[in-house]
Amino acid sequence: MKADPAAQRLMLDIADIDSELLRIDHRRAMLPENAELAALGEQLQTQRDEAVRAQIAAEDLLRESRRLDNEITSMSLREQKDNQQLAAGNLPAKALSELEHEVAGLIRRRSMLEDEMLEVMEQQEAVSADEQRASAMTNHSERQIEDATARRDVALEKIAQDEAEAKAKRAALIANVDEALLAIYERQVSHGHVGAGLLRAGRCGACRMELDRGLIGRITATADDEVVRCDECGAILVRTHESGLSSK
């Protein structure tokens, strides 16, 4: 097909803009803040899991301490009642002896429970420290996420602005290009290839392949308004004074 040489040269500008749009997409996909947020999200989830485990452990210890406290209180009351009966001395000797044994047993059992209570209290202190540490770490991670999210949003806004500007420039250029020529370009791009490249020093600017002498000769003999394409990649080969072709 034929197309005005000036229109063909516009395809290079469009190709440059399309390359810029690809770079913009890459910037969007590879934002360092995205990787940072993913890592922080995993970190926060781990910290929240630790906080939940610490909370569950604290609740278990609280129930245990209440149970021990109730048992110690109950034994103290029984011990107090039995001691009152011993002090009154109104029971038979055998009953008094049995009551003395019971009081001694209550004292031993209460002492064991009090030791257990001390251990539980120590565990509660440790778990409380774990809860506070997990809470502090969680709060810190949440602040980090807020900061990274704000930085990501700023970066995305800049990327969106650059993309809009590039698309506006592309639309303005396309308005000056023949539809048939543009269709060739767009079909090439839709297949994942560069749509147009500058022919420079016998090399395709799209795929960087060096053209053979025979093809260079045929291109040299082709009219300036004839659209030529690279045999290797299919891109529109745009000829300018940089192409180094001998004059026809």
Mean pLDDT, the chain cut into blocks of 10 residues (248 residues total):
90 95 96 96 96 96 96 92 85 84 92 96 96 96 98 97 97 92 94 93 90 87 92 91 70
The interaxial angle of helices 32-88 and 93-174, nearest 10 deg, is 170
DSSP 82-98: HHHHHHHT-S-HHHHHH
Could you tell me if 72 and 115 are in contact, meaning their C-beta atoms sit under 8 angstroms apart?
Answer: no
pLDDT score of 246: 64
pLDDT score of 247: 54
The interaxial angle of helices 93-174 and 5-29, nearest 10 deg, is 170
Tokens of 179: 């539809």
- Region of residue 161 (phi > 0: left; psi between -120 and 50: alpha; otherwise: beta): alpha
pLDDT score of 95: 84
Beta bridge partner(s), residue 226: 2
pTM of the entire predicted model:
0.71
pLDDT score of 158: 97
From the list 237, 187, 194, 171, the residue with the least C-alpha distance to 5 is 237
Residue with tokens 């600017």: 205
Burial of 85 (0-12, 13-18, 19+ CB in 10 A): middle
Could you tell me if 34 and 155 are in contact, meaning their C-beta atoms sit under 8 angstroms apart?
Answer: no
pLDDT score of 248: 45
pLDDT score of 131: 95
